[in-house]
Amino acid sequence: MKKIIYPERVRKIPPHFSWLDHRIVRDGYISDCDSEALALYLFLVTVGDRNGTSYYSERRICELLNWTANQLSQSRQNLEKTGSIAYEKPYYQVLALESAPLERKEPARKNQPVAISSLLSNLLGGNAS
């Protein structure tokens, strides 16, 4: 059995229902996305309702992620290609993951791990130490 370092801080799914599917890693979705697309995915999972839907404006997402409209557009297209989100302006839906990404292509960062600090830095628009 794994050791729980801080038993009083065991993570629980909050009532507003936010979680990440482990198949993002296991089935290779993570290797088919660049770090900005993964930051957008994390954002959409975090703000989505229990059905995975949200309707943040492009302007507001860019403000929160400290991005340009082009960065948002490219990240959204990356996620749409993998079949992990759907987008019909202004609505986003985080989709249930298939057993493998829809489009197998050359990974954005072949055989390179993604540091969580990099994802957080992109998400927060600054440096994560």
Across-strand partners of 91? 88
Closest CA to 99 of 76, 83, 117, 119: 83
Kindly report the pTM of this predicted structure: 0.69
Q: What is the pLDDT of residue 128?
A: 47
Q: What is the pLDDT of residues 3-33, one digit of tens each?
A: 877 888 777 766 666 678 888 888 888 899 9
Would you state the structure tokens that stand for residue 71, as one six-digit string? 């960065």
The answer, yes or no, to whether residue 107 has pLDDT greater than 60, is no
Q: Which domains does the chain have, with CATH numbers?
A: 21-100+108-123 (1.10.10.10)
C-alpha–C-alpha distance, residues 108 and 89, integer Å: 26
Cβ–Cβ under 8 Å, residues 78 and 33: yes
Closest CA to 57 of 96, 87, 18: 87
The answer, yes or no, to whether residue 95 has pLDDT greater than 70, is yes
